[in-house]
């Protein structure tokens, strides 16, 4: 069984400030980990993913995340927030050993960027 916990349903930062969205996962098999972003009235799109190899992964729009197995975490960061980053962010985990089955999502974190 797999699960995802996103700490903080709402995060608010000032424009130009660091963005940190937290994600912890539980998986009995090697995980694939993902961050998706959902802009208002749109579907989800992939920001970045970890499958194997380098634990620090970079995605679109300046976001990055680090897979820390010992901490079962995959936190999302961006050095400097932009107004256009305001959206809902979802962390997800799937079975990396078979690359099959469902992806399990967290409850999401709404990011607000203040001018």
Report, in Å, the least distance between residue 53 CB and another protein: 12
Q: Which is nearer to another protein, 17 or 105 (CB)?
A: 105
Distance between CA atoms of residues 48 and 43, nearest Å: 16
35 in Cβ contact with 65 (< 8 Å) = yes
Q: Binders of another protein: how many residues, by CB under 8 A? A: 24
Q: How far is CA 41 from CA 14, 44, 47, 88, in A?
A: 23, 10, 17, 11
Q: Which is nearer to another protein, 1 or 115 (CB)?
A: 1
**Among 19, 75, 94, 111, interactor with another protein by CB under 8 A:** 94
Query: Does 70 contact another protein by CB under 8 A?
Result: no
- Site string (22-51) toward another protein, x via CB under 8 A: ----------x-x-x-----xxxxx--x-x
Kindly list the residues in this chain that would bind another protein in the complex (CB under 8 A): 32, 34, 36, 42-46, 49, 51, 90, 92, 94, 96, 99-108
């Amino acid at each position: 069984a797999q699960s995802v916990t996103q700490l903080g349903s709402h995060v608010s930062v000032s424009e130009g400030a660091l963005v940190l969205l937290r994600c912890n996962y539980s998986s009995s098999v090697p995980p694939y980990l993902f961050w998706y972003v959902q802009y208002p009235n749109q579907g989800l799109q992939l920001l970045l993913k970890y499958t194997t190899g380098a634990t620090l992964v970079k995605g679109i729009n300046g976001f990055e995340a680090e897979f820390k197995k010992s901490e079962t975490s995959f936190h999302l960061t961006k050095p400097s927030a932009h107004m256009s980053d305001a959206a809902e962010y979802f962390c997800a985990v799937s079975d990396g050993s078979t690359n099959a089955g469902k992806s399990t999502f967290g409850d999401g974190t709404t990011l607000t960027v203040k001018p």
